[in-house]
Amino acid sequence: MLSKREKEVIAEIWERLTPVAEDIGSDALLRMFASYPGTKTYFSHLDISSGSSHLLLHGKKIVLAIAEGAKDISQLTVTLAPLQTLHAYQLRIDPTNFKLFSHCMLVTLACHMGDDFTPVIHAAMDKFLSAFAAVLAEKYR
């Protein structure tokens, strides 16, 4: 459960990351591909090498979607409705992978924010990303 304060902090952080969405997103994806090679199987149609335009575009897309969700966390189900459908019926990414990506996003944020990524912020962010992933998988079955 996210407190009011936690929601504010989360919204503020993602607002600040929006201008560097490409860097944050592609960094998290690259980390995931390096640590969990099985995740690459969902990207056989793209060039996911470091610095590739596909990777930057895709990273940007993901971060902007997360940032959008962060603006009003209590409305996640509404905000993510189209993405829920996309993931359930077209992409059909196994939801375990959402956990792997979330973990890598936390590491990206740690590298990016250093000491500012405090335990309290880490906890709030982990809760938010877990909620985000859960909503994303809601239409799967």
Partner 1 sequence: MVEWTDFERATIQDIFSKIDYDVVGPAALSRCLVVYPWTQRYFGGFGNLYNAAAIISNPMVANHGKVVLRGLERAVKNMDNIKETYAELSVLHSEKLHVDPDNFRLLADCLTVVVAAQMGGAFTGDVQAAFQKFLAVVVSSLGRQYH
The binding site for partner 1 (CB under 8 A) comprises: 27, 30-31, 33-35, 103-104, 106-107, 110-115, 117, 119-120, 122-123, 126
| Closest to partner 1 by CB, 42 or 88 | 42
Q: Helix, strand, coil: what percent of the chain each, to 5? A: 80, 0, 20
Least distance (Å) between residue 82 CB and partner 1 = 30
| Closest to partner 1 by CB, 29 or 136 | 29
Least distance (Å) between residue 124 CB and partner 1 = 9
Characterise 55 by phi-psi region: left (phi > 0), alpha (psi -120 to 50), beta (else): alpha
Q: Give the CA angle between residues 80, 117, 65 to the nearest 5°.
A: 15
d(C-alpha 38, C-alpha 40), whole Å: 5
| Closest to partner 1 by CB, 57 or 113 | 113
Least distance (Å) between residue 126 CB and partner 1 = 6
CA nearest 102: which of 38, 25, 12, 45? 25
Helix H segments across 18-52? 21-35
Least distance (Å) between residue 120 CB and partner 1 = 5
| Closest to partner 1 by CB, 39 or 79 | 39
